[in-house]
Amino acid sequence: MGLSLVEVRNKGWQALIKELGYSGATKFILLCEMGRGDYVKERKKLFERTSVKDIVSEMKEEKIQR
């Protein structure tokens, strides 16, 4: 039995980050996907209760775990 679509997406994202870093991986995805919705509204809602400090801490923790 193969990987689920969620697993493929997650492993693909991690591979992109490993090779390109967060910024490069994001740029790559933006090149490959058609935009939809309101990016600014979605991001504000997604991170409305999260500080920049929390995001940076989470990114550093992920990097340490790799």
Domain ranges of the chain: 5-65
- CB half-sphere exposure, 38, CA atoms < 13 A: 6
6 vs 66 pLDDT, higher one: 6
Please say if the pLDDT value at position 9 is more than 70.
yes
Write out the H or E segment, with its range, that includes residue 5: helix 5-32
> In this predicted model, what pLDDT tens digit does every residue of 46-64 receive, in sequence order?
888 888 898 888 889 888 8
pTM for this model (two decimals): 0.47
Write out the H or E segment, with its range, that includes residue 59: helix 52-65
Mean pLDDT value of segment 2-10: 90
Please say if the pLDDT value at position 36 is more than 80.
no
Distance CA 10, CA 18 (A): 12
Contacts of 19 (CB under 8 A, 6+ apart): 25
Token pair for residue 20? Answer: 């390109």
Please say if the pLDDT value at position 30 is more than 70.
yes
